[in-house]
Amino acid sequence: RRTQVGIVGAGPAGLALANALTRQGVDCVVLERASRVRVEGRQRAGLVEDRTVRWLRSQGLADRLLVEATRHDWCDFRCLGHTVRVDYGAYSGGRQHYVYPQQSLVRDLVATLEKAGSPPFFSHTVRAVTNITGRRARLECEEGMEIECDYVVGCDGFRGISRAALPATGHRVHNRRYPYDWLTVLAEVDRPAEGVRYAVHRAGFAGMMPRGPRLSRFYLQCPPGEPVTAWPARRIVAELRTRLADGDPAGVPAIGALPEVRMLRMHSSVLTPLRHGRLLLAGDAAHVLTPSGAKGMNLAIADAAAAADALVARLRDGDEGPLAGYSAARLADVRRVLGFSEWLLALLHLPADPAADPAKELAERLATVRRLATPGARARAFAHRYVGSGVR
């Protein structure tokens, strides 16, 4: 079998890329290890940025999202018993987040590929990507399928195998481990979270993200390396109440069953460069950020958009330029976004240093979030970076 672009992985990056290429008449094949039911059922991200929606719209991929997503243009910070509302929509020229579960977007992207007659091959595990500096790269599947490709895009997530095809020298991975972990919890709630709430608390950070009328995602800062078993449901709910409500019980919905509780080891990892020969990397296969600022899925789709443009220019018009610039351009964006995500982490967590004075640290954070809520250059810069307006 032969194709112009072989895509490993049917997450947001691989599916967005396949849709964009198919729309431009470039032949591609998506191979996905998991079953369709599993891929379409994975609950992860939920905040879609303004620039992501604009791109999806331009590709005719946002119809259902625009009808069903709820829009958000403010977030609350709770600190020292005060709630500070940051109207980032107002400071970014009216831009908004769209709350739309990742699995809904994934379903939409699979459906459009199906309609175009080129659905992903589910339950096909790529075992190796080979010959990436030869005349044609090759994808080899455990199920026996082999595909020759002009280009391969590794969209196979953080634990994917595409990276293994890179030469041992010439590539670097920049890893960072943060001095805390996050318990991430999907919880049933008695009413929808009105918006995102970040609590900066003496006991540690807690966050609440809307996910729909009856579900919210919550985050709780924990000591690094703590096992998830240290957090029975009753402790989770009590700690969320303490940190998120912090004297304002009306600000947090009642929490019921917890369908998903996981411990997230907080780290980031960025590979450089993102291309070698006929292999490009995109999405979590290339860079993993913490959930701080809700950037991962949005970066994955921004990579896909850039990779699609570059591959169309090369394969349809013979123009090598955008492909040559793919890695540098995407890494510049990734570093900018990572910088913002880390700035937000520093705001939300008190230093582990025992010499630090928590009262002073909390007072400083309250002053900072108040500045984000006050018209001016700081509020505008935060708003644009948080909502992902594409304005630097």
Which residues 37-96 are close enough to bind ligand FAD by CB under 6 A?
Answer: 39, 44-47
C-alpha to C-alpha distance for 164 and 285, rounded to whole angstroms: 11
Which of 34, 111, 258, 362 lies at the binding interface for ligand FAD (CB under 6 A)? 34
* 103 scored as a contact of ligand FAD (CB under 6 A): no
Let me know: does 106 contact 93? Beta carbons within 8 Å: no
| Distant-in-sequence, close-in-space partners of 325: CB < 8 Å, separation ≥ 6 | 310
Let me know: does 134 contact 140? Beta carbons within 8 Å: no
What is the smallest separation between the CB atom of 15 and ligand FAD, expressed in angstroms? 7
Which residues 137-156 are close enough to bind ligand FAD by CB under 6 A?
Answer: 155-156
Q: Is 287 helix (H, G, I), strand (E, B) or coil?
A: strand
Which range, of 32-40, 86-94, 144-152, 346-354, touches ligand FAD by CB under 6 A?
Answer: 32-40
Q: Is 386 a catalytic residue?
A: yes
Nearer to ligand FAD, 92 or 366 (CB): 92
Question: What count of Cα atoms within 13 Å lies in the side-chain half-sphere of residue 361?
Answer: 18
* 196 scored as a contact of ligand FAD (CB under 6 A): no
Q: Is 314 helix (H, G, I), strand (E, B) or coil?
A: helix
* 31 scored as a contact of ligand FAD (CB under 6 A): yes
Nearest to 361 by CA among 202, 182, 224: 202
* 3 scored as a contact of ligand FAD (CB under 6 A): no
What is the smallest separation between the CB atom of 359 and ligand FAD, expressed in angstroms? 32
Q: Is 72 a catalytic residue?
A: yes
Is residue 317 exposed (0-12), middle (13-18) or buried (19+ Cβ within 10 Å)?
exposed
* 300 scored as a contact of ligand FAD (CB under 6 A): yes
Which of 92, 268, 298, 341 lies at the binding interface for ligand FAD (CB under 6 A)? 298
Is residue 286 exposed (0-12), middle (13-18) or buried (19+ Cβ within 10 Å)?
buried
For residue 28, the cross-strand partners are: 5
Which range, of 227-235, 244-252, 281-289, 364-372, touches ligand FAD by CB under 6 A?
Answer: 281-289
* 33 scored as a contact of ligand FAD (CB under 6 A): yes
Which of 6, 89, 120, 296 lies at the binding interface for ligand FAD (CB under 6 A)? 296
Indicate which residue of 287, 295, 349, 384 is catalytic.
Answer: 295
What is the smallest separation between the CB atom of 353 and ligand FAD, expressed in angstroms? 28
* 161 scored as a contact of ligand FAD (CB under 6 A): yes
For 179, 304, 345, 351, the CA distances from 267, given in Å and listed in that order, are 9, 23, 11, 17
Nearest to 185 by CA among 138, 243, 125, 126: 243
Which residues 175-194 are close enough to bind ligand FAD by CB under 6 A?
Answer: 184
Question: What count of Cα atoms within 13 Å lies in the side-chain half-sphere of residue 128?
Answer: 6
C-alpha to C-alpha distance for 55 and 307, rounded to whole angstroms: 13
* 10 scored as a contact of ligand FAD (CB under 6 A): yes
* 102 scored as a contact of ligand FAD (CB under 6 A): yes
Q: Is 198 a catalytic residue?
A: yes
Q: Is 349 a catalytic residue?
A: no
Cite the active site residues: 72, 198, 291, 295, 386
Q: Which residues bind ligand FAD (CB under 6 A)?
A: 8-14, 31-34, 39, 44-47, 102, 125-126, 155-157, 160-161, 184, 283-285, 291, 294-298, 300
